[in-house]
Structure 1
């Protein structure tokens, strides 16, 4: 990730952490700047104001996905990589993202006629999922019964379904724990059973 993208993601991540801890209304731009270790100029280079940060969640998620991807063992089973990435981001959501603001983002994506940030196929997220499913198919770890892009779409659908349920349940359960139980069941049908040697 380029330095500029790192700064932008860092500002967004700090902002969302403060929104979670203090509430959106009580969080000031000055606090975001101070805690992110950036300048006022940097903040306004990337964001016109606090409201624009509400649309920055996909950037936060992508920064987390990229961070986790870099730490994964390249030899790890591709299905397990996908699960690790999902669990990591859902843990981040549970710890740093206020469920009310997450629900607002999801509802805005349902009614908007314009840019649907969560579905932007140019995001790191979609490129990464497509790449991992393709890798898993080539390694014989993920079924070849469907094209990689259809399986990647299923993965995103399963992730969104869990987050949607978390939102309509008003964050009433531990998202990370629930995802660890649910995601392998929802998405597990694409995994090729490996023969025990």
Structure 2
């Protein structure tokens, strides 16, 4: 899985979410997004009907973060290090660049929608990256699982943890440091993968 060149659509999405974080959604204009993404009005409207269409693209920001992190992975890293490192990288990106109110909007919209649920899309880079890391850990013997447990069970445990912690962080109005708390809570889960307790 190599890092692909950022597309014009991704440039627009990443610029929009940075601006939403700094200026707020209501105070960010389409013109601001076009300028920050170094694209054109025609390009923007080719991909999006308007600013509101960007609200369901947050998962792409997450995936771009995972792809950026993937490029920093070195052969000497353990799969445990990779899982903990990717979580730290992504949650720092979220804390720095994502407006928590819009994260809350994404979660609530995913619960009630009958349309595309980006947070459950197994084809996303996020799911492929975590699955590949878990598979490598099992193959190398770093991770183990109980009889009857599958790689999909492990994947669900990990991704459920990340979704749950983000939900909790928003619910408690960012009342704790997302990155350090997540690292502390994730370590026992990764240890559980190593010890085969799942």
Could you tell me the TM-score, scaled by structure 1's length?
0.91
2:161 aligned to which of 148, 158, 163: 158
**SS, match of residue 125 in structure 1:** helix
Looking at structure 2, the residues matched to 84 and 7 of structure 1 have their Cα atoms a distance apart, in angstroms, of: 28
Instruction: Report the CA distance between 1:7 and its aligned residue.
Output: 2.4
Where does residue 60 of structure 2 map in the other structure?
A: 59
**1:177 partnered with 2:180:** yes
Instruction: Report the CA distance between 1:91 and its aligned residue.
Output: 0.5
Give matches, 1:1-197, under 5 Å.
Answer: 1-3=3-5, 6-145=7-146, 146-192=149-195
Looking at structure 2, the residues matched to 186 and 107 of structure 1 have their Cα atoms a distance apart, in angstroms, of: 26
- How big is the alpha-carbon RMSD for the aligned residues of Structure 1 and Structure 2? 1.6
Tell whether the 8 Å contact from 2:20 to 2:99 is kept in structure 1 after alignment: yes
CA-to-aligned-CA distance 1:126-171 (integer Å, 9 cap, x gap) = 1111111000001111113222221011110111111010010112
CA-to-aligned-CA distance 1:74-125 (integer Å, 9 cap, x gap) = 3311121011111111111111111111011001111112211110111111
**SS, match of residue 142 in structure 2:** coil
How many equivalent pairs are there?
A: 192
Over 3 Å counting, the alpha-carbon distance change for 1:187 and 1:78 in structure 2 is: closer
Tell whether the 8 Å contact from 2:19 to 2:33 is kept in structure 1 after alignment: yes
**SS, match of residue 7 in structure 2:** helix
4+ runs deviating over 3 angstroms: none
Instruction: Report the CA distance between 1:2 and its aligned residue.
Output: 4.4
Looking at structure 1, the residues matched to 36 and 138 of structure 2 have their Cα atoms a distance apart, in angstroms, of: 43
- Structure 2 gaps, min length 5: none
Over 3 Å counting, the alpha-carbon distance change for 1:156 and 1:27 in structure 2 is: same
Tell whether the 8 Å contact from 1:140 to 1:192 is kept in structure 2 after alignment: no
Tell whether the 8 Å contact from 2:17 to 2:98 is kept in structure 1 after alignment: yes
